[in-house]
Every structure is written in C-alpha cells, then in structure tokens.
Amino acid sequence: MTKVKICGVTQISHALVAGEAGAALIGLNFAPESPRRLSVPQAQEIARALRRRFPGPAPALVGIFVNATAADMRRTAASCSLDWLQLAGEEPWETAAALEQPLIRVVHVAPDETAEGLLGRLAEGARWIHSKESLFLLDAYVAGRHGGTGKTIDWELARRAAREYPLLLSGGLTPENAEQAAGLVQPWGIDVSSGVESGGLKDEAKIRAFLAAVRRADGGLGADEIKKEGRLWGGPGVHGAS
C-alpha cells in the first residue's frame, strides 16, 4: 500500500487534515532556506496536536534538515518528538550512518540522469545505511534548491529504482497526476509539498484530493480500511525493518 507524506506543514489544522485523510508521514521543515521553515516551538505544537488527535496509530513526524550537524538534528528530534530525520542537503553518508533515528535520504535527480548513474548512487548510499531503517527520496535537481520546486523527475527512471530500493517519489506531484505516478512507479511512498498548496499555504481540499488519488492507484482502499488492516503507518521493504 502506497504511503503518503505531506511535507512542509506549517499549521496545526493542515497536519490534522492530513492525518484524517490518511497520510502516513508529515514533514516539518527546519531548513533555514525554506519558506516553510518552523521554529522548534511551532513544531512542538504541531506534534502535540497530532498526538492528542491520534492517540493510537499517528502519522509519523519527519524533520527535514539541510546540511545541519548530527548534534543539531538529534537535539531537534528529541525536542519535537520526531520519528524520522530527512537529510535534504549535501550531507556526507557518514553523517547519515551515524544518526540513530530512522532516516530518509534525499537523492536529487537531474534531467540527464541515467539509470546506471542513479542506481549506482543508490547502491553507494545503501552500503552506508543498510543496517538502519531508511528510505531514499527521489526529487528533482534544481541548482541552488533543496526541494519544494514543483519539478518532476523521469518516472520511468524512478520506477526502475523503486524495483530495487524502498523509496519515496517526490517532485511536481499534484492531485491531478498522483494516481498516474503511483500506479506507474509503484514506490514505497509518495511525497508532496507545493502540489497541495494554494498561495504558498497548504490547501485542505488539495490534501484530501491528493490522498484520494493515491488510494485510487492502490485499488480504492480508503483511509479507514487501511487503518483497520494495519497497513497505514509503516510497512515492509524498509532497510533494516522486518
């Protein structure tokens, strides 16, 4: 079952809507360059609100960082009850391997990327983080940017990578193309940020529409049904996970 990550959430109401619609992961951005950047107190408020609304299985909280130190990431993770750390910059693989928390490592894909080149980069990363619970996130390469660009990547290339590695597909996804992307690539999960926004803010109707589109690709299983089957919060195929 395809997981959905709603990234760059800045308001409690949007986090709650994402959880109610069936999002498995919610991204909180701590990157200094991001217009969606949160302070630690803001992230703590969102985390508390989610735990109150979902006392049982709750959406996992993902902290997004760009070139932060391992010490800073650990400190923020502890303060904000983060379940995953997402490294979206040029952090060396040694930094990723040294983190204790489950890890999402962003791999930026250029327009001229070849399958051999991408699979080689993923294989190198897997050697570093194979022993921990981890995912790759494929996003479009845009010079000087680390995400949220709204640019798509080659889905056929992503499909080949998803056959070999658990990954999140990102880049230019919207409620209009999410069903097609999920059906073609068949990734572990789908990540969206700007594609569910209006005027730079998350749009609740677009969040719901995006989740509904991914569920259609999965055969129409609704959020409540997925929860009952225990297939919403996490799943097999993650490095280090049983």
| Helix, strand and coil percent figures for the chain, each rounded to 5 | 40, 20, 40
What is the tens place of the pLDDT at every residue in 38-90? 999 999 999 999 999 998 788 999 999 999 999 999 999 999 999 999 999 99
170, 192 in Cβ contact below 8 A? yes
Mark whether 80 is an active-site residue.
no
- What global pTM score does this model have? 0.88
Question: Would you state the pLDDT for residue 220?
Answer: 65
CATH for 3-228, options being 2.30.30.280, 3.20.20.70, 3.30.420.40, 3.40.50.150:
3.20.20.70
Average pLDDT in the 176-205 region?
A: 96
Mark whether 139 is an active-site residue.
yes
Q: Which of 80, 83, 139, 191 is catalytic?
A: 139
Distance in angstroms (rounded) separating the CA atoms of residues 4 and 27: 11
Q: Which of 7, 80, 83, 191 is catalytic?
A: 7
